[in-house]
Amino acid sequence: MHFHKKAERERIGKGRLLLHGTQTVSSEGHLVIGGVDAVELAHEFGTPLYVYDTALIRERIRQFKTAFAAYKELEWQVAYASKAFSTIAMIQLVNEFGLSLDVVSGGELYTALKAGFPAENIHFHGNNKSDDELVLALDAKIGIDIVDNFYELERLEELCASRDQKMEILLRVTPGVEAHTHEFIMTGHDDTKFGFNLDNGMADRAVLLALKAPHLILKGVHCHIGSQIFETEGFVRAIRIIFSYAEKWKDAYGFTMRVLNVGGGFGIKYTEEDLPLPLSKYIDSIVAAVCEESRARSLSIPAIWIEPGRSIIGESGTTLYTVGASKNIPGIRKYVAVDGGMADNIRPALYQAHYAAICANRAKDVADQSVTIAGKCCENGDVLIKESRLPESCRSGDILAVLCTGAYGYSMASHYNRLPNPAVVFVENGEADLVVRRETYDDLISNDLPLKTYSAH
């Protein structure tokens, strides 16, 4: 197979097509990911299919590590936010790099443990962890619990006391910073269900209580200001605000903030309109702000932790679909339907998220028509891309690739209309590795129980 790598990417890149990582176009006009022909992948594994370019995942992880490694004296941790995409294989890949892991439920924690992820590198999040979840974490002896509220603080201390076990914690605080992002994924502002608000004294009380709790070891503070963020100001503002409190807590309670976790949220390029910063820029600004504040307030520089999800996994994912029916409404629009939709990618319907698509078996044809790519769910709002450019030649049976679906696609997939969840394939160096098998109809009904009193007509 011959790939017209650079020249082809440049020519295609000039249109609306946006290729990521190792993606390229073969001489026969097929999209190629990780050296594997996407059309062959679709035929071998069926569609819809989530395909992950693992070389790109590795590259993103390295970019974060390299950005931090530039600061020799600094202590830091990169915790992959597994909510973005959590499967056994993904967790194992993350562990190859020695990253930490952010989990947010018993299910994510269980997946991590089953993947053999070192418990001491696991950070546990969540605004309403159940006792069962906390016990799972305590049994596994995970690294740190990020306490979100007073109820959790109390429950965790009680559980630890009853087991005569200690637990390191961070307190999640809400600095009142509004990140420029969609309202549903914005979390650092005052009106949010997450964390202890700084400006109304909640966080002060939480620090005092945590310091007094005999079984809890308060290491520091966490905040997460939102997602898909394209600037550094929000992080810097949040850091400055947190430091003003850290100074106060030091003076008033003798508490030293040894860890500052600034969360995730680094933006990615879903479409040409998105202009994310290089990952090192976010890190440089965060490190600079932390060092400056520490110095200005005569505090020791805390370890800096981050929790990227989307920026590690988002651009590496592509969803392959088979094109089916189309409907042309003259003067209005042409709908092209694919064999998946909001069940495998809820983001367009939930956040009006934008994506770009390529006809994977006609990737060289000029994308000369404007169409709406619809899913197959029984809901009018099941539209994946409202305005997509596809070649006029694109027809039923073709393979459509929706790009940049790696984050919060599989992890937010549903069974709406009883659609089975698609398979997941990792591709690299011309090899495809099935890491999640496609659900069957039997999987779908495997937990259903018959009506006890059933008598058929």
By CB under 6 A, name the binding residues for ligand LLP: 81, 83-84, 102, 125, 185, 187, 224, 227, 263-266, 307-311, 347, 351, 407-408, 412
Task: Given the residues 223, 359, 378, 394, select the one marked as catalytic.
Answer: 378
Nearer to ligand LLP (CB atom), residue 94 or residue 359: 94
Give dist(CA 319, CA 310) in Å, integer. 16
Nearer to ligand LLP (CB atom), residue 45 or residue 117: 117
Q: Is 377 a catalytic residue?
A: no
Nearer to ligand LLP (CB atom), residue 31 or residue 218: 218
Nearer to ligand LLP (CB atom), residue 208 or residue 412: 412
Residue 296: partners with Cβ closer than 8 Å, 6 or more residues away: none
For the bound state, the minimum distance from the C-beta of residue 305 to ligand LLP, rounded and expressed in Å, comes to 10
C-alpha 32, offset from chain centre: 24
Nearer to ligand LLP (CB atom), residue 361 or residue 405: 405
For the bound state, the minimum distance from the C-beta of residue 231 to ligand LLP, rounded and expressed in Å, comes to 14
For the bound state, the minimum distance from the C-beta of residue 452 to ligand LLP, rounded and expressed in Å, comes to 38
For the bound state, the minimum distance from the C-beta of residue 274 to ligand LLP, rounded and expressed in Å, comes to 13
For the bound state, the minimum distance from the C-beta of residue 324 to ligand LLP, rounded and expressed in Å, comes to 26
Nearer to ligand LLP (CB atom), residue 45 or residue 85: 85
Instruction: Name the residue with tokens 């319907």.
Output: 349
Pair 128, 103: CB distance under 8 Å:
no
For the bound state, the minimum distance from the C-beta of residue 101 to ligand LLP, rounded and expressed in Å, comes to 11
Q: Catalytic positions, please?
A: 378
